[in-house]
Amino acid sequence: MAVEQLIEARKAKGLTQRDVAARLSKPPSFVAKIEVGERRVDIIEFIAIARAIGTPEMNLLQALLSSLPAVLEI
């Protein structure tokens, strides 16, 4: 699952979902729904989340891309 990179990056920085949500000025449920796969994010939100976590967005994107299968179902 692609969201695993976001979760791993958040935990590696020692941040809770609540911490990330506060940095984004969003409710904790915003991050929780993303992490359990109930909500998808667009590229702008992805960049904002990466920055809130404190991880270079290109590193996170590269990790995400390498984890995806060759063919994606949408």
Question: What are the structural domains, with CATH classification, of the chain?
Answer: 4-67 (1.10.260.40)
pLDDT digits (tens, 9 = 90+) for 32-57: 999 999 999 999 999 999 999 999 99
Distance CA 37, CA 13 (A): 21
Q: Taking 90 as the threshold, does the pLDDT of residue 26 lie above it? A: yes
Q: Tell me, what DSSP letter sits at residue 46?
A: H
- Global confidence as pTM: 0.85
Q: Quote the pLDDT of residue 66.
A: 86
4-39 CB burial, b ≥16 within 10 A, e <16 = ebbbebbeeeebebebbbebbebeeebbeebbeeee
Q: Are 34 and 41 in contact (CB under 8 A)?
A: yes
Per cent of the chain over pLDDT 90 is 74
Q: Are 3 and 34 in contact (CB under 8 A)?
A: yes
